[in-house]
Amino acid sequence: MRGTAIPMFDRHGTALSQEARGELARKNGVCVKCGILTHDVKVFRRVPLTNEHVYAGKCIMCHPGDCPHEIVQAWEQKFKPRHTGMQAFVQNSSTRSSATTRKQFTTSSTRRGLKPTSKSKSPPPPAQRLDRRTSDITESFENSSDLRNLSSDDFGNRAQDFGNHSQDFGDYSHAQQLRRVDKSNPDFKNKSASRRNPSSLSTSKTSRSFISNKPETVNRIVSAGNYIGDGLQEDAETLAKSLKINISKPDVLKQKLHKLRNLGEECGTLYLIKELMERYQNSSIMLEVCCGVIWGITAKDDNKKVLAAETGTINTIVDIFQNSFCESNSNLVQWVIGSLSCLSRGSGNRQRIADVGAIEKMLDCMKKLSTSAGVFEWTCRTLYSLIHKYEEELNNESIAIQKNIISIEEHNGIQIVISAMKNYHNEANAQMWAIKVLWRLQDREDEAVSIRVLRNMDKAGGVSACVKVLRARSTTSLLFEATIVLLLNIISATQSNDVPLFNDEPDCIALVVRKMKEEYQNASFQEACCNLLAVIVSRNRAQFKESEGLREVVAALMNFSDNLPLCCAAINVLWTVSYRSTYFDQVNLVNSVSAVIIAHKKNPGNVQLLGPSCAFLANVLASSSARLDKIPIVIPFNALLLKSEDLILCNQAARVMSNMYIKYPSLLKTGFKSKHINSLVDCLGASSSDYLHAVYDVLTKLGILSDNYKIEILRAGCLKTAKSYIQSSRQGTLNQKVLRLISVLTSSQARAPIEMPNDIFLVLMSLKISSPGLLGQSCEVLRDLLASAIPGSKSLNFEGLVEFGCTIINDSHRSIKLKERACEVLWAFTAKQECSIKNLSLMYSSLLNLMSLYKGEQHPYESDLQSAAAGALASVTACMREADVELEMKDLEEFIHTIYTIMERDLNRTELLLKLLDSLLNLSILNELMVIQCGGVVVAIDIMVEHEHAESVQERGCSILAVLSSTENLQVNLCIAETDGVDMIISALATFSSNERIQVGACKTLSHLSVDVESRLLISSFGGVMLILNAMKSNKDNVDLLEGACMALLNLSSDAEDEVLSDPSVIETIVSFMHRHLDARRLQEAGLGILQNISMRKEDAKRRIAQAGGIDTAIKAIKDNMGAALVVERALTTLWSLAIYESNQIAIANAGGIDMVVNGMMAQITNAKVQQQASGCLCTLSLNSRNKTLIREAGGVDAIVYAMWAHFESEVVQAEACRALSNLALNVATQEVMIATDGEINNIIAAMRRFPDSEKCQEYSCLALRNFMLSVDNMVLIKSNLNELIGLLSHAAQRFPTKCSERANQMLEELQRS
């Protein structure tokens, strides 16, 4: 099959030498004359071919002398009949381009860039026109065949730029989504500079067409290289006659036809030419010449095109396709199709050409001649002429055009054209016409039809074909732009953004960026490239960065900032790339933002520009590495104030506002102020739901960002506006945003109370009926509002709130999640507002029932629901504790059972167990006995055991045990001891020494448990004494803890080992805290008791207590607690114990202890124990000679007498009083006897009389009387009771001979003697 001959000129227009053409043919493995393939060119060698046209690498037709004679003869016998008498014409045709001078192109007015003169009526050839647009197009011609050069340069199709035709190529306002243009939208009309179809693309500011719409004269059509005949000057009429005369002479006819073609005049020759075509229908050369004559004659005048059609020439030309040699003769096919291209411009000729099946036959030829670039080009030219309507044409052509479009589709024209594009991606001229054909096919009024056609193009491989064209070296900037436009439309109708659109996307990005650098002054080119980048860069950001595409896009944006479509496309690219901050360095980032700002200044308030700009800024601000000194806050703010219904715009504006304040908090003061918030709140009255979505989002994010913003938004009346909107609106999705905003505004770390509409709770509860789908969210908002409400508010209407929550909880048809929210509502309500006993009982029973229902027996276990219910129950029981609500045993038993079930299923969920423990603590305070009976002690200890290292669990557990053990019931104490309760208490005390609540609870529990002997021993064995002391030292000012600790130590000190109690730190700690908290009565009681117990255990302890300041502490305790009998009693007991040592006797006296003892006796005269301990203390203190005097001077003797009078029935008081008087009566050191009064003598005698069987009373009475009798003065008083006294002494001697007989007998002898 014949190929394309070697061109005569190189890519720069310089004529090639014969040697250069030969070398080029050798490299390509083709014949230098006809272009037939003669060698199979491998990478490193050339293999000569042998077939029916080639012998051993030599073309038989062009080089017969180099081939064997028999081979040449066989070839002529087989192929010569098709070329009889026409061999010379073939030779001329194959070398025509050599005579086609480049001078015509370079010297014409069109080539110089000047406007054509008025005399120039015909269009410049398409190749010349494209060459006028860009010099790169010459490369495509130099790679074309000679005949194709002839047809391309000499015979132009009357075609017009379709740049002013119908639809623009589309708007790509979103980097992630391609959308077809809505031609009804006024924003997209009449913008030739913004969205162009391929035919309207230009490399200069002035719009230029691909092909002129004016015919060219014959002189311009015929080039100097065309065959001009025999040199005789003949006019058209003469030539016509000569044709008739020589009708049977092909060689003469050929000369005359060439002349006629070059002359371009008709003179009735069309009929004759038609006759010649029919006569020579088997001669391809003659047919070529005839088609050329028709082309040349009709090119000058549309009327001649119509005349040619009327003569039946169209039918004759189309019939040529039926010849078998058309399947292999690409030159003939090009002449046939070219002539049809010319004729198609005649009025009605489109229809005529289509009616005779020309479209189907042309497509079939292009399919069969797949190796002929010329057939591809001229078929596309002709197809375009058949389906494109030019400005000067009448509307009656529209029907024919539409039919032709449908016909091309029906005959698989899209597939054929795209397949040819793939084969000839380096043929720039042909590719341009193919692009124009495909564009026209999809350029329909019906959007659905356009999409269907575009999808068919995609199925035919349109995307890959376009990509091949883009990557071809011969592709001009104009073709590059047109291809991008078509590619984008195909993509917009067919492709998804989630997958690559084609395999070479990364390489394509680098190519596009390079082209943008080259065509940096071409606005439409930059626009197309930016649109393509916006589509493919999302999957190839790394390649985009490597090719420095960002710099080119930003440059385009800055250079053409007044070009709105380009700005939109460029910012879409910025949006896509900004998805990852790593693709921006600091310089590019600053330049990009600056370019966006400039674009908005040139196009203020444009909706198309605001959307991607906001998205870009939002991504930039979300980046942690971005650092900007200038941020255009006006862009997102203006986007919101436009009140647009564009959802993308609104959402992106909301994003940029949120990210801006998160990244740049300084803008809180400088960028966004109260007036802005007021403006946004005022915008909540807009009618657009999409807009309201965005505004509510912005306000919500601002509220989340700062509590100050919450205050500003609330001050602007947002809460009232939102409440009103909920009342009046039934838009579920927007109501969700409103509820979300309310929730944010009413939630903060501080939970400061806020003012709110008094009926807001009623409005939110009404959503249960009006918007059931929002019930869950309304519960969340109710919860947050209740948490922010003023505690104990009387102005807010909570009517029906408890019933609202309990109804949801008890409704079996409600979802688990909704029940959780209802529990949270009740939780928040009871935490701040007062509740009636009725409501508390209702909530208590509902929550217990809910927890029991979903504990895994009747219904599946629901952990989150149990947590919410337990939290609400803890709050409810806290209120019940204050209201003193009565409990029922069955409810408590069910609650304890539920706790155990939860422990089995959710043991590791600590926060749930904490809430259960809180409820158990509240119930224990409310009725500890009932909780004990239901097993509350065991369940609390079990939880503590399972979570031994959980501080919060141990805290609650210790508090519960402290309450339950306060009953000091032996069975409770035993239960705690047997269930490892003591072990857990001691462990918590040791492990969590910094937790004050644990220390308090543990100490109180131990104080109650230590009343039992076994428990005391267990506590001591675990080191409880020292742990309690450590707790006291760590919490010096916690009186509650200190009192509990001292009470525990008081009990423990009665049984503890001496080694433990003898530790100096024990005494020092107790004394120091007693001195620190003199006004803590219980602390004083317990502390004095501890000192008392310690002092009685070991003798040296008495000295240590005194050294630690125990004496002063005891004296101060009496002084500060005169009205506290137990304090006075234990202080006196302690002083009595300490007074055994003489040094302590002196210390007590020096500290004023004697006066305090006497005062204590008088203050608590009615308390027998105080009188007993005081008498004993005075007795011991009186062992010191000086103290005897001090006691008498302080009124100690009188105090003893008063005690004996007040407690005459108390044996111990009488005994201790007599003993004290016996010591006071006699001062051995001074040899003095106290002068007695009737009171002392009579009370002693009365004690003997009242307690005759009391050994101590009789003993101490005898001793006291004997000491008093040592004074003569006292004998007088004693003798006054002589008779009774003799009897009492005789009885005492007889009853207690060991203790009393000696002293009694002495006194009897003395009395008898006197």
pLDDT digit string, tens, across residues 461-511: 888 889 889 888 888 989 999 999 998 898 888 765 555 666 677 878 888
State the residue for tokens 């016998």: 77
Q: What is the pLDDT of residue 752?
A: 66
Least confident of 108-112, 731-735, 867-871: 108-112
Under 8 Å CB-to-CB from 1185, ≥6 apart: which residues?
A: 1227, 1228, 1229, 1230
Least confident of 25-29, 891-895, 1088-1092: 25-29
What is the spatial distance between Cα 510 and Cα 520, in angstroms, rounded to a whole number?
15
Q: What is the pLDDT of residue 31?
A: 87
For residues 1031-1046, give the mean pLDDT.
Answer: 90
The average confidence (pLDDT) of the chain is: 79
What is the spatial distance between Cα 47 and Cα 492, in angstroms, rounded to a whole number?
47
pLDDT band of 259, cuts 50, 70, 90: confident
pLDDT digit string, tens, across residues 342-352: 998 888 888 88
Q: What is the pLDDT of residue 672?
A: 61
Query: Does 110 have pLDDT greater than 60?
Result: no
pLDDT digit string, tens, across residues 372-430: 888 989 999 999 999 988 776 666 678 888 888 999 989 999 999 999 898 887 888 99
Least confident of 94-98, 278-282, 548-552: 94-98
What is the spatial distance between Cα 386 and Cα 988, in angstroms, rounded to a whole number?
97
Q: What is the pLDDT of residue 7?
A: 66
- What CA–CA distances, in Å, run from 213 to 306, 351, 1148? 17, 20, 133
State the residue for tokens 């119930």: 923
Q: What is the pLDDT of residue 231?
A: 58
User: Between residues 273 and 1207, which one has the greater pLDDT?
Assistant: 1207
pLDDT band of 957, cuts 50, 70, 90: very high
What is the spatial distance between Cα 1192 and Cα 1158, in angstroms, rounded to a whole number?
10
pLDDT digit string, tens, across residues 190-238: 333 333 344 443 333 333 222 333 333 333 333 333 444 555 678 878 8
pLDDT digit string, tens, across residues 904-952: 998 899 999 999 999 999 999 999 999 999 999 999 999 999 999 999 9
Q: What is the pLDDT of residue 200?
A: 42
Reference 1058, options 1090, 1097, 1095, 1086; nearest CA is 1097
pLDDT digit string, tens, across residues 1244-1294: 999 999 999 999 999 999 999 999 988 888 888 888 888 888 889 899 999
pLDDT digit string, tens, across residues 430-461: 999 999 999 999 988 888 899 999 999 988 98
State the residue for tokens 């040449």: 72
1142 exposure class (CB count in 10 Å sphere: 0-12, 13-18, 19+): exposed
Q: What is the pLDDT of residue 500?
A: 61
Under 8 Å CB-to-CB from 115, ≥6 apart: which residues?
A: 109
Count of residues in the chain: 1314
CA angle 1248, 1249, 1254 (to 5 degrees): 50
pLDDT digit string, tens, across residues 607-625: 888 888 888 888 888 776 6
Q: What is the pLDDT of residue 749?
A: 55
Q: What is the pLDDT of residue 738?
A: 86
C-alpha 706, offset from chain centre: 18
Query: Does 154 have pLDDT greater than 50?
Result: no
Percent of the chain at pLDDT above 90? 26
Q: What is the pLDDT of residue 46?
A: 79
| Of the ranges 976-990, 1016-1030, 1155-1169, the best mean pLDDT one | 1155-1169
pLDDT band of 155, cuts 50, 70, 90: very low
What is the spatial distance between Cα 222 and Cα 237, in angstroms, rounded to a whole number?
19
Reference 1218, options 1191, 1187, 1179, 1192; nearest CA is 1179
